[in-house]
Amino acid sequence: MMSSANFSADSSNAFSIVIVNYKTPEITKICLDLLRQHLGDSVPVWVVDNYSADESTEYLRSLDWINLIERSVSEPEAGHIAHGKALDLVLERVETDYLFLMHTDTFVFDKNVFPMMLNKCIKNQKTVAVGCVEQLNRGATRTFWRFSSRLFKHHFRRLKISVGLRSREPKPYREVYLKSFCTLWNCKLIKQHGLHFSMDDRVPGYTLQDRMTELGYVVEMLSPRKIFSYLDHIQSGTVAAAGGYETTHRRTKMYNNILKRLNKDNS
């Protein structure tokens, strides 16, 4: 079994990495540069370009060390549907037993995140996925406040409905689904059961997670504190990069601030 402190080319042969690009040239370059720096040629890296038709596509075509798939569509697709179909294209082709899903706004600064997560699958052959249900590390205080407020809203809405008052449907107050900014999946098990990432109109991986747990497999959930000691992630950074928010939106501001810091660090 590999040690997370001793990451070697031999240990990396067990997994591949997939990234889906859509009009995010700056962060895609940073994301891939970091992977190249940490992993060299030891890990197959798959990149699916979701019909970007911009400078990010041209950049990806210039890289001879990635496996590039260029998707084209005849009709517009919702973003999460396009993302799921892109992931399934790689799932069909990948030859390794494990597959890391990453976003272009995920920046790995410690390569030991890969063997750390992989070890959890190797230790328990029933583990089908390893990841985190949160997209950023909010810290103990903010996490407690967020959970408490969501718990209150959930039960308050249920109470209103129970007494016949109009109310929105209660949202789940606890996150249960792994977020794909950095998630490890056992694709060998997925293929054995004839499943894939995009199975309906839900976020890719959500129904897959439900189906695999119903079959008795285990999903290992890492704490935000743990996973974010190895990497950075810009929440909704891909949306912000593609102009999906107004310039004054807090996530656009967050994206711009982090991008400035990353460019400064790499200069």
d(CA 21, CA 103): 8
Which residues are CB-neighbours of 35 under 8 A, at least 6 positions away? 17, 43, 45, 108
> Would you tell me how many other CB atoms lie within 10 Å of the CB of residue 3?
12
Secondary structure (3-state) at 219: strand
The predicted pLDDT at position 249 comes to 47
The predicted pLDDT at position 9 comes to 40
| Segments in the chain forming alpha helices (H) | 9-12, 25-39, 55-61, 79-93, 113-123, 139-162, 187-192, 206-214, 224-227, 237-241, 250-266
Q: Which two tokens stand for residue 154?
A: 């959930």
Which residue reads 């109310």 in tokens? 167
Short-list 105, 119, 108, CA closest to 14: 119
Secondary structure (3-state) at 194: coil
For helices 25-39 and 250-266, give the axis angle rounded to 10 degrees: 40
Cα 52 to the center of its chain, rounded Å? 19
Distances (CA, A) of 210 to 135, 178, 197, 214, 241: 20, 11, 11, 6, 31
Q: Do residues 205 and 18 lie in contact, with contact meaning Cβ atoms separated by under 8 Å? A: no
Q: Do residues 31 and 102 lie in contact, with contact meaning Cβ atoms separated by under 8 Å? A: yes
Short-list 4, 193, 191, 231, CA closest to 90: 191
The predicted pLDDT at position 145 comes to 57
- pTM of this prediction exceeds 0.85: no
Which residues are CB-neighbours of 87 under 8 A, at least 6 positions away? 18, 20, 48, 101, 180, 196, 197, 198, 204, 205
The predicted pLDDT at position 168 comes to 77
d(CA 214, CA 61): 41
Is the C-alpha dihedral spanning 15, 16, 18, 24 positive or negative? positive
d(CA 98, CA 188): 7
The predicted pLDDT at position 162 comes to 78
d(CA 162, CA 164): 6
- The H or E element that residue 17 is part of is strand 15-21
Residues of the chain with pLDDT under 70: 1-12, 137-152, 154-156, 158, 160, 170-174, 235-267
| Phi, psi for 165 (deg, rounded to 5) | -90, 155
Secondary structure (3-state) at 210: helix
Q: Which two tokens stand for residue 155?
A: 């039960």
The predicted pLDDT at position 211 comes to 98
